[in-house]
Structures are given as C-alpha cells and as structure tokens.
Structure 1
Amino acid sequence: MDKLDNCAWLMGDNVQAAFDILEQEGDTARAVGGTVRNALLGVPVADIDIACTALPQQTLARAQAAGVKAIATGIDHGTVTLVIGGTPIEVTSLREDVETNGRHAVVRFGRDWVRDAQRRDFTMNALYVDRHGVLFDPLGGLDDCLARRLRFIGDAGARIREDYLRILRYFRFFARFAVGAPDEAAMAAIGAHYGGLAQISEERITRELLLMLEANGAVEALALMQETNVLELIMGQHVAVERCGDFLQMAAKTNCGQSRGLGAVAALLMNGVLQDRRQALAKSKLRLSNAQTLQVQQSMELAGYFEDGLPVAQNVRAALLDYKRAAVADGLLLGVVFAGKTGLQGEGEFAHLEELLALCWQWDVPVMPLCGKDLIDCGVQGGAVMGQALAAAKAQWIASDFQLERPVLLKIAMDYIAEQVAEAQSPTIEDSERRA
C-alpha cells in the first residue's frame, strides 16, 4: 500500500488551501501522525496535523499574506494553528530533539523527514501522507498500523525516558487501536521505568487515564497497567481492577451511550468500607475538576445505597433531585457491580436496570414548588428549623409522586414549624419537678 485513496478530509478545500500556503519556495508538507493513522484504520479523522519544512515564522508570514488566521499555539516548539474555513489545522515544522528531561524537549528545526519521524513515540504515529495521498513511511510503521500492533520507535526505554507520559499514552493507544498481545519490549520498558510518572503533572495523568477509560479496550489496558504497577502508582493504592472491568462491561451492555470515564474512576476508588472511599481520591495522583470530583463522590455514595438491590423508580427520581444525572446512572451500575450482581437475575431484572438508567437521562426533573423565600414571606426566620420544614415538605412531595402543589406544601412546612415551636414551649419533666 503506497497511497490513501478517497480521503475526503485530505482532498477538502480547507486542507488543500493549507498545503498551498505551506508549499512555497521549495518547502514541502505532509499530513502526519494520528491524522494518517486514523485514515488507514477507518477511524474518523477529527484533527488535522501537518508537518512541513517551513519554519514557524515562515508559516505565520505566508498565512498572513494569504489572509488566513494563524495562531502561534506552540511556536517555540514549531507549532502554528491555521484556521481555514472554520477548520483548525495544526502545522508543525520538522524538528529533532536536542535535549530531553523526561517530559519537555529542547528541539532544533530542520528539513529531515526521517529525523522528524525518529523523535515520535510509536511506529503507527510516524506515518506521513502528501496532498495527493502518497504515503511516506520512513520507519516501517505502515505494517504495524494495519496490523494494529503498537510498538515504540526504536528502543522503548529510550523513548520513555524522553517523556514519561508516553507510558500512559501507550495504554491509551493500546485500548483504542491495538489487537492481540502487547509488545514485550514495551511492557518490559514500562515495568522498568514506571516510576518516572512521578515527574508528570496530575492534570496530564488524569487526562490520559480518562481518555483510556473511554476506549473500547479499556478493560485489557487496565489489566496491563496493573501488571506493570502503573495503576497502583496512579491511584495511590491497590485497586479493584476486576470490578472496574465489570463496571465498564456492564456500562457497554446497557448501551446507554453516555461517557463512563468518571464512573470507571469511581470503580477504581471503591475499596474498603464506604466511609473510607472519599479519602481514596486524595491518595491518588488524579486531579479532577470540582464538577468531576463531585460526580465521582456522588456516584460512590449512591452505590452504597444501591448495593442492597435495584431501587424502585421512585427512589431514582428522588435521587435525581439532589444528584447529577451521570452520578445517579453510575451509582446504579456501581451498586450492581459491587453487590456482585453483574449477571443480574434474569432478563426481567436486567430490563429493570435499563429502565432505571433511561430514567436517569430522560426524566424531566421537576423543581419543588416551595422554597425558603416562601417561608420567609410568611414570617419564618432562617435556620435549622426552616431547613427541616422544607425537608418535611419535600418528603411529602416525593411521596405524592411530585403531585403536591405549593399551597399544600406550604401548609405542611408551616405545620411542622408550629409543632416544633409548641414542643419547645411545652414544659419538660425537669421543669415540672423544679417548680414543685
């Protein structure tokens, strides 16, 4: 195979315009990396990356002359983003590493396509294609790509020492593209150098793990990560990788079509008793956003409630009033998995689970028609009693299948407050004895 045929993304006006800008004054350009890999494997091409012999300043000047927006996204490392017809196209000058320190590299720009390929990570990512679809394979990566065989370029240990993030990239690409057994040299090198991940930021570790967990081969990749001690390093403890695998398989089986990366993180964290699970995230090398952290914590909390068995729809609706939709859905699946019911009891129980999951995503969550301001307008002062009154009204609202309207709920809340006031004012046995 020496040519890519019928590539709509390559022959599109926007990409061809980029080649027109770059290929001036004897310079050449080729699409590269994941762009070419995905096209060869029949995977949708989402991002367009082009390598070229032009220096980044030349790319900027030529784009300006053509009236094309250009952004110096990583100009020190040779990267400029062209925006043509609304399509971002990342252009990087050919380069080679002068110095590496396990994460960042000092690069030198050049015109040697082979040297540019040699500084990349995996053979399937060191493939190029020109504007006509002609392939350039300087390192023999085409056969690996077509066979879905993931190998480091050259010495695996050397590639890892250049950038320890490549350890996690290996597992992410393995989960998404590879088939068959992992490369033995890659596994040996990862096992020898996984400690270098301590140099990588928590944000980058988290990003790679979440991307890997969304891939179809995540279960197999997790097993390899555990085998090489990478997973325990990231999570800060020995993890229940088998149950995480059960979670991912159950999520795929229910076919809800929702992201499951954070649910899988929750499954990895769910060791020990429920009270200790919130501490597990702090022990890990993960750095989640506040929203992501909340979702993970909520799903673990709900899993503790759902481990006793599948709830009725009413309980799921009640949970949706206070928890994120994704957290409730993940909590349901986690509850099933950690209760040891991945097979469930017959088609009826599985159908019930699917109904509950559909409810998580499709139910139009109502807003309780009573709020604190309503009680304040009635002369109630804020405080614990007001919160308790609202909770009492909410419980009755849920029990009515969310049918009770504001006047009834207001009466329930006010009656509750009146009862609390009366109870506070009634004499106690101690008071009676003191008066006697």
Structure 2
Amino acid sequence: MTLDAGFGVSRLAGKDALDQVWKVLPEARLVGGVVRDLLAGRPSMDIDLATPLPPDAVIQRLSQAGLRTIPTGLAHGTVTALVLDHPIEITTLRRDEATDGRHAVVAWTTDWREDAARRDFTINAMSLTRDGVLHDYFGGAADLAAGHVRFVGLASKRIEEDALRMLRYFRFQARYGTGAPDREAVDAIAAALPALDGLSAERVWSELRRILLAPDPAATLLLMQSLGVLDRLLPGGAAADRLVRRLAHLAIPEEVAGDPVLRLAALVRGPAGPVADALRLSRAEAEQLAALLADRPAPVAGLDDAALRRMLADEPASLLLGRGWLRHDGGNPGGWCAVCARLRAMAPPVFPLAGRDLLAIGLPAGPALGRLLAATRGWWLQGGCSADHAACLAHCLDRAREAGVLAK
C-alpha cells in the first residue's frame, strides 16, 4: 500500500533530522509506534527506524556523513543517531534465536517480514518506506481501524517469549482498543498469569502507570481485575471498580489529572508500604502514595476557609486535592468543584514566628523553646492561620510566662 504524499510524516517532531538520516540510509523504514500513530492520526515523539544493514555499517555510513552516533544497544542491533539534537533509533532487522520469558538472544536478518514477525502486536508490526509505501504483513492497519489489539501469530507463543507482553497488551488495549478484547489474547493471558511473578518490579510499574494514564482505562482495568492480573501485581488486592467509578463520576483536579500515583492510590486496597515495595516505586512516589492514603484531613464540600487554611499550612494543594478526590463519596460534584476552586485561590499560610524571634527577646535556646514554638503554631492553626506576627509573639510570651521560661 502506498500512502498519500506526506501522510503526516511532515508533521513529525524531528522530520528534518529524519530526512538527513534517510539521505544516508535510504533503505531504512519507519517502524513500530511511529507508523501506528501516523496511521491513527496521533502525535508521536519518538522516531524509530529499521534497516537490513548491520550496526557497524550503520555507524560507518552515519559517521562518514558527519552525523553523530551513540551505540545505545549494539547487542540488540540498535544505534542512536543524534541529528539536530533529535535522537533517532536505528535498529538492524532481527530474528530471535532464543527467549527465556524476559529477554531474547537475537541474530541479524535482511528479511523485513521475519523482523516484523517477532513484534508483539499487529498494530506495531508495520513499516513505512521513505517513499510512503506501507508494509503491513499481518493486517495491522485493519486492526488499528477496527480498534482490535491482536498479537502477531500465536498469543501464547508471544507471551512465552516475554511475559511483559501481557501487560503491554492491556496498555495498548486501553489506548487503541475500541471493541471487545481479543479472545485469543485474553485466554492466553489467563493461562500464563504465573509468569507475571518473574517480571522485574520496574518493568511492571512502567506498564501499569501507562495503563492508569490512558484517556479511558476503565474497561481495561476491569478486564485486568476479572482475570486476576491486578490482584497478582498489588499486595492487598485491587479495587478497579472503585477507581472506575471515580473516573466516571468525579472530576480529577487539573493539577493532578496526569498523576499515575493518584490513580494507583484509588486502585489499591492494601496499605501504601507493601504496594510501594512490590512496584519498587521511587522514594518520591512512595512518599506520595503514603501521604495520599494517610489518615489525615482532606478538603470536602462544606468546609470553611479556616479549615482549608489549616490543611494548606501543612501540605501542598496538589496533595490535598488528590486526597480529597480519593475521599469524596461522589455526591455533590458542584460542591467538590467549589471547594477545589477555593483551595486553589488560597495562598499557603506561613507561620509568622521563628525561633530567632524568641531568641532576640531573650528566651533561652533549648527544648523548651521548641515546645513553645510548637504550641504557638498549634494555637495559630486552631485559629485558622489568621493571627499575625505580633499576635503569635504575644501568645508565645504568655505561654512562656505560664511555663516559667520567662519571668512574669
């Protein structure tokens, strides 16, 4: 199939860089996600090329043309050309020599169909020449148009080669699937669930976060729940139905709309710690998950400004908005939007007193000073964070006299 001139390639980020590489490697083809997204009319940031040339020949040609190369994955046949500050990955056509469920030993080939046959899904197995000729060996274009995510060849064999493909199936189903899930794929995944246990936590979280951030992950998450996938990945189990209800009936505050940890917090049933360990979250992600699930105040409809200021004095608005979304019962959406707007409009209150202020008036340094400050801050919070520096200082001095720290 030859596509219309341009076919969206001219709108690719890095098109000028691609043209320079194509001048040197005219036989190379666009492959994988970039072709899929061009066909779907979606933006694509990454540009991946494949070539029948071995990696050393690719490096030689690019270097002779004055283009910088980075040997990013020579064992797997991948060279990155850095052109006009845009990275373009160029991979030699491959066939699998051996697989172990996680990694593959590959050999080079010059057969484009053989290379396409080792890819996971038909929608990812297409390639596009410089002249706009689409090579589609397994019906990927038709599947893409039909919203049908289907493995290349036997689903069970593809999963046996790499168990991560089970999670990748759900990721692509969430983003490109519009109809019923592929029956062969679902049956193969159900039969291979124990293989998920052998995946690294980092690979699992990388896929799960992408699933969670799909524009509409509801049907896919419910499918994962019904198959037992989520309960296998998340200690304490999962509550996909709860997350789905929230996504459907309660607007996520825009500040946290693209936050996968918030969606994870709505999905899990168990405490934050074991989930963070199982997925090997970063320290920042683990702390955020714990804070979202903590038994701490959250903004809800009907709270007065003083209560909101007290929360905002201790935690950032984004965290409070996320926790509020998790806690909201789904009723009174107008009230929820109103409390979000009020919280956004507030400047975070800052306690106006510091230890140096007390030292400056002669109070001795030490634990008693810290206790006085903490007590005064508690009084300031209780009053809705409205007391100014003078009022806080006066209150602190009164407490100091009562405690005998300052002479009456």
Aligned residue number for residue 324 of structure 2: 332
| Residue 335 of structure 2, aligned match among 339, 352, 355 | 352
Deviation at 1:421, TM superposition (A): 3.7
After TM superposition, list the pairs within 5 Å mapping 1:204-243 onto structure 2.
Answer: 204-243=203-242
Aligned to 2:353: 370
Counterpart AA for 1:19? W
Instruction: Output one character per residue of 1:374-414: Cα deviation in whole Å (capped at 9) or x when no partner.
Output: 4455444343x444433333344445654433343233334
1:3 paired with 2:6, answer no
Q: Does 1:311 find its partner at 2:337? A: no
Tell me which amino acid in the other structure corresponds to 1:315: A
In 2: Cα distance, 1:252 partner to 1:270 partner: 21
Contact in 2 for aligned 1:295/1:326 (Cα 8 Å): no
Cα displacement (A) at 1:308: 8.1
Task: Say which SS state the counterpart of residue 106 (structure 1) adopts.
Answer: strand
1:281 aligns with 2:280: no
Distance in 2, Cα, partners of 1:244 & 1:295: 18
1:428 paired residue number:
none
Closer/same/farther in 2, CA of residues 18 and 315 from structure 1, 3 Å limit: farther
Contact preservation (8 Å) 2:253, 2:322: no
Per the alignment, residue 244 of structure 1 pairs with 243
- Change in 2 beyond 3 A, CA 1:392/1:351: farther
Gaps of 5+ in 1: 272-276, 426-436
Is 2:400 aligned against 1:406? no
Residue 294, structure 1, aligned to residue 296, structure 2 = no
Looking at structure 2, the residues matched to 356 and 63 of structure 1 have their Cα atoms a distance apart, in angstroms, of 57
Which residue number corresponds to residue 49 of structure 2? 50
Q: 1:380 to 1:415 in 2, by over 3 A?
A: farther
Alpha-carbon displacement from aligned partner over 1:61-113 (angstroms, at most 9, x marks no partner): 22222222222221211112212112221111111111111111111112110
- Residue in structure 1 matched with residue 61 of structure 2 by the alignment: 62
Q: Following TM superposition, by how much is the alpha carbon of 1:190 offset from its aligned partner in structure 2, in angstroms?
A: 0.6
Match of 1:274 in 2: none
Matched residues in 2 for 1:315 and 1:371: separation?
A: 23
Partner in structure 2 of residue 433 of structure 1 = none
One-letter code aligned to 1:296: L
Change (3 A) 1:254 1:290: closer
Structure 2: state its 5+ residue gaps.
Answer: none
Tell whether the 8 Å contact from 2:49 to 2:90 is kept in structure 1 after alignment: yes
For 1:118 and 1:61, the matched residues in 2 are separated by 28
1:429 aligns with none
Q: Is the alpha carbon distance of 1:130 and 1:366 closer, same or farther for their aligned partners in structure 2, counting shifts above 3 Å?
A: farther
Asked if the contact 1:392–1:412 (Cα under 8 Å) also holds between the matched residues in 2, the reply is no
Instruction: Tell me which amino acid in the other structure corresponds to 2:275.
Output: L
Aligned equivalent of 2:20, options 17, 21, 24: 17
**Does the CA-based 8 Å contact 2:99-2:105 persist in structure 1?**
yes
Question: How many residues get paired?
Answer: 403
Instruction: For residue 279 of structure 2, give the secondary structure of its aligned residue in structure 1.
Output: coil
Offset from partner CA, 1:302-338 (integer Å, 9 cap, x none) = 5x644986533433333233224332111101111xx
Q: Is the 8 A contact 2:298 2:320 kept in 1?
A: no
1:309 and 1:133 mapped to 2: Cα distance? Answer: 56
**1:35-434 correspondence runs (5 A):** 35-250=34-249, 252=251, 258-271=257-270, 277-281=271-275, 285-301=278-294, 305-306=297-298, 311-336=303-328, 341-342=329-330, 344-345=331-332, 350-359=333-342, 363-377=346-360, 378-383=362-367, 385-398=368-381, 402-421=385-404
Q: Paired residue for 1:432?
A: none
Q: Distance in 1 between matches of 2:292 and 2:394?
A: 34
Instruction: Please tell me whether the aligned partners of residues 251 and 260 of structure 1 are also in contact (alpha carbons under 8 angstroms).
Output: no
Is the deviation greater in 409-418 or in 151-160? Answer: 409-418
Q: What displacement does 1:296 show?
A: 1.2
- The normalised TM-score by structure 2 is 0.90
CA distance in 2, matches of 1:151, 1:16: 32
